[in-house]
Amino acid sequence: MPPHGNSNDNSQQPPRFPPTPPGNGNGSNPLALSSDALRLVKRYRVEVAASASSVLSSFTTFPLDSVKTRMQTYGYAGFTDCVRQTYQTEKLRGFFRGVTAPMASITLVRTVSFSIYQRSKLSYCEMVKRNFGYDVMAHVSARNSYPNLWTIGTFAAAGATAGSCITLIACPFELAKLSAQVSVLMADKKNCPRPEMHKIAASYQSKGTLKTMANIVKHRGYTGLWTGLPFHLMRDTLGTATYFVTYESSKQLLTKFGGEGAHSNPFAVLVAGGLCGVVSWALIYPIDSAKSIYQRNSLMYTKGEKVPRVVIEPFRRNMYRGLGVSVARSCAVNAVFFSSFEFLKKRIKAMDDE
């Protein structure tokens, strides 16, 4: 992604922020922003584009995320079995349980994540250039360039920084989302190891995001909202580093072979977006499974009770239940997200030139 900044080809353009209020000129654009609003939107175009794109991509692919979580935490025979049983017992509503949490949290997390990543990337690029004399961004933007250790290391460090920073924000929302997705299954007595757990598990059923969070606080205290934080931190730090390295590097390669200038090939953005989701999820999936299982178990315990330990076992088959669904979902959500993100970012940047 290009650094912040405006086009330099403005020598023959009128002033960017004319003093005449919008709508008082020729009236050709009734939705024109005021000078101050336009300046603000352009300054934060990464955040604006990320927010809008997150809402679009999250809602359209949420049913696949719901199926993935159910397959991770309960023993379905496969994707088809999970879809069939969910539809039979809960109809279409079952696939959208907990959608409010990610619509709020993913939008917030992605917006903050991309903002931190963009600024971290520029800071690390400047640090590399200052200390080692190597211009990472110039190399990425150059024609016929390939990813190298400098670009991979810089993007990985920026991604890890963003991933580790967003964990504290994301963890409570993800826990609430997981609770909503599996609350019906938890309330089934046969899924409760001990009879006394059933009452606690059943209390999470049919609750919205805020009520779910309040219920977690009731049973586990305020710190209960961050149950599974070590798993979450490990997953997001490693996963976000891999995510951005794969996106930036694959876009650079695809752009090169596509014969267009850097950051201008929509096909490269689409494919790179899908690929980064596939690669990052394939790498961190056992960590995510362990996190989901631990968080589900914790919802059946009260504060002070010890939740059974869950171990990350990358070579154990049940740690990969729902991987195919997750990879397909991640490919779709990130292809949609990045295509929308890059398009909106360009449109916002060009707004005052129209």
Give the range with max mean pLDDT: 26-40, 41-55, 60-74, 297-311: 297-311
Give the whole-number percent of the chain exceeding pLDDT 70. 84
Tell me the two tokens of residue 340: 């929308």
Average pLDDT value for residue range 96-105:
72
Average pLDDT value for residue range 140-165:
92
Identify the pLDDT of residue 340.
87
Give the whole-number percent of the chain exceeding pLDDT 90. 29
Q: What is the mean pLDDT of the chain?
A: 81
Distance CA 280, CA 238 (A): 8
Indicate the pLDDT class of residue 352, thresholds 50, 70 and 90.
low
Q: How far is CA 299 from the centre of its chain?
A: 24
Average pLDDT value for residue range 324-339:
85
Using a 10 angstrom Cβ sphere, with 0-12 exposed, 13-18 middle and 19 or more buried, the burial of residue 25 is exposed
Average pLDDT value for residue range 1-19:
42
Indicate the pLDDT class of residue 95, thresholds 50, 70 and 90.
confident
Alpha-carbon dihedral 77, 171, 104, 61, rounded to 10 degrees: -30
Three-state secondary structure of 242-263: HHHHHHHHHHHHHHHHHCCCCC
**Chain position carrying tokens 């990543």:** 117
Indicate the pLDDT class of residue 306, thresholds 50, 70 and 90.
confident
Average pLDDT value for residue range 35-61:
81
Could you state, in order of their start, the residue ranges of all structural domains in the chain?
A: 42-353
Tell me the two tokens of residue 312: 């990350």
Indicate the pLDDT class of residue 19, thresholds 50, 70 and 90.
very low
Indicate the pLDDT class of residue 235, thresholds 50, 70 and 90.
very high
**Given a cut of 70, is residue 263 above it in pLDDT?**
no
CATH class of 42-353: mainly alpha
Indicate the pLDDT class of residue 9, thresholds 50, 70 and 90.
very low
Compare 268 and 213 and report the one with higher pLDDT: 213
Identify the pLDDT of residue 267.
80
* 308-327 pLDDT tens trace: 899 998 888 888 888 888 88
Residue 232 near residue 291, CB atoms below 8 Å:
yes
* 121-131 pLDDT tens trace: 999 999 999 99
Identify the pLDDT of residue 145.
84
Indicate the pLDDT class of residue 150, thresholds 50, 70 and 90.
very high
Distance CA 270, CA 57 (A): 13
Indicate the pLDDT class of residue 261, thresholds 50, 70 and 90.
very low
Indicate the pLDDT class of residue 27, thresholds 50, 70 and 90.
very low
Average pLDDT value for residue range 278-293:
92
Compare 130 and 102 and report the one with higher pLDDT: 130
CA distances 265 to 9, 251, 258, 261, 339, Å, are 21, 9, 7, 8, 10
Identify the pLDDT of residue 136.
94
Average pLDDT value for residue range 7-21:
43
pTM tops 0.95: no
